[in-house]
Structure 1
Amino acid sequence: MKKSLLLSCSLLLLLSCQNQAQNNKTNNNTMETHAAISAETIYQFKVKDLYGKEFDFASLKGKKILIVNTASECGLTPQYKDLEAIYKKYKDLNFVIVGFPANNFGAQEPGSNEQIAKFCEMNYGVTFPMMSKVSVKGNDMDDVYKFLTQKSKNGLQDSEVEWNFQKYLINEQGELVKVLSPRVLPTDTAIVGWINGK
């Protein structure tokens, strides 16, 4: 009788431990899922464009977005031409480019917002949205770039802006899906294929 009672107690204890372990596992999975779901989106941000007007990223819901930090005096500055070309080609297919001039690398964007606007229009006929000049790294990093570069905010990965013309791809739900090196051209299949859903 004692053995039987002891065996029953042992079984109950074992089952109780298994249930507790299972509950802990379920809770952990729920927390991980919740963490993934609660990653921020680009839609929370409002910024100023080159002309001082408010630009609300929430207005881009349902579009694929390419965000790029730009500079007027960089060896990569001719990428403006290809950026404008793909913008014109795909803008009616729920695609938009948002440029952020930045002077973080080699002081290659020294101009004012007004000077940058004139440069972009005169030299490359830029028509895609261009924002006010910001910092994309360091202590004064703009909030949009904190989102783009910090996994705790974007839910995808930590990254660092390497140089001018680094590209961040945002899906139709406002989520970061890819980070591309400054040297990846706007016409690269990594970008054009993504725009076309390939």
Structure 2
Amino acid sequence: MTSTLYDIEFQTAEGETTTLDAYRDKVVLVVNVASKCGLTPQYADLQELQRSYADRGFSVVGFPCNQFNGQEPGTDAEIQEFCSTTFGVDFPVFSKIEVNGEGRHPLYSELAEAQDAAGEAGDVQWNFEKFLIAPGGTVVSRLRPRTAPSDPEFVALIEENLPA
């Protein structure tokens, strides 16, 4: 899993092909996001993490997904506008993808192999599931959707994995 995460291609919100290669030496928090979900206020905590740790080798990256009750129905441009104006998001929010099922994006095929605290891997349960990736590509934590990004134990894990 660790050698391929940085090579998997996906689209920016502007339609350009990219990878996570630029984040190879950073701690990355990958989150499937949605604008019309009860958990959408987590954008504020995600942005606070980005603000607090970006200069120390950390980045949140968001992947909009409309697979959970159609809670991300907008276009990529509408999603960008919502994130920016509603929550002041300045971390990358990429093009909409699928995280489960036959159309699951290859990035999430790899991430779905990571286990959560209960030892369970597999499908993403809902919007705002979080995968923490250490520099070099190892998934060090998988947080289910209801765990807030500001959870003290999780923040400590981010700090523990920041590059020296």
Give the TM-score taking structure 2 as reference length.
0.89
In structure 2, the partner of 1:63 is 26
Kindly state the Cα deviation for residue 134 of structure 1 after the two structures are TM-superposed: 0.3
The amino acid that maps onto 1:193 is: A
Residue 121 of structure 2 aligns to a residue whose secondary structure is coil
Does residue 109 of the first structure (1) align with residue 61 of the second (2)? no
In structure 1, the partner of 2:108 is 145
Q: Decide whether aligned partners of structure 1 residues 85 and 39 sit closer, same or farther in structure 2, where only a CA change above 3 A counts.
A: closer
Query: Which one of the candidate residues 67, 71, 88 is aligned to 1:125?
Result: 88
Judge conservation of contact 1:149–1:157 (CA < 8 Å) in 2.
no
Kindly state the Cα deviation for residue 159 of structure 1 after the two structures are TM-superposed: 2.5
**Where do residues 80-119 of structure 1 align in structure 2 (5 Å cutoff)?**
80-119=43-82
Query: Which one of the candidate residues 149, 154, 158 is aligned to 1:186?
Result: 149
Kindly state the Cα deviation for residue 177 of structure 1 after the two structures are TM-superposed: 1.6
The amino acid that maps onto 1:125 is: G
In structure 1, the partner of 2:37 is 74
Give me the whole-angstrom Cα distance separating, in 2, the residues matched to 1:158 and 1:52: 30
In structure 1, the partner of 2:6 is 43
Judge conservation of contact 2:63–2:96 (CA < 8 Å) in 1.
yes
In structure 1, the partner of 2:139 is 176
Gaps of 5+ in 2: none
Query: How many residues align structurally?
Result: 157
Does residue 158 of the first structure (1) align with residue 121 of the second (2)? yes
The amino acid that maps onto 2:82 is: F
Query: Which one of the candidate residues 43, 52, 63 is aligned to 2:15?
Result: 52
CA RMSD of aligned residues (A): 1.7
Say which one has the larger Rg: 1
Gaps of 5+ in 1: 1-37
Higher relative contact order, chain-length normalized (CA < 8 Å, sep 6+): 2
Comparing both structures, which one devotes a greater share of its residues to helix?
Answer: 1
The amino acid that maps onto 1:71 is: A
Give the TM-score taking structure 1 as reference length.
0.75
Identity, in percent, stands at 38
Give me the whole-angstrom Cα distance separating, in 2, the residues matched to 1:190 and 1:44: 30
In structure 2, the partner of 1:134 is 97
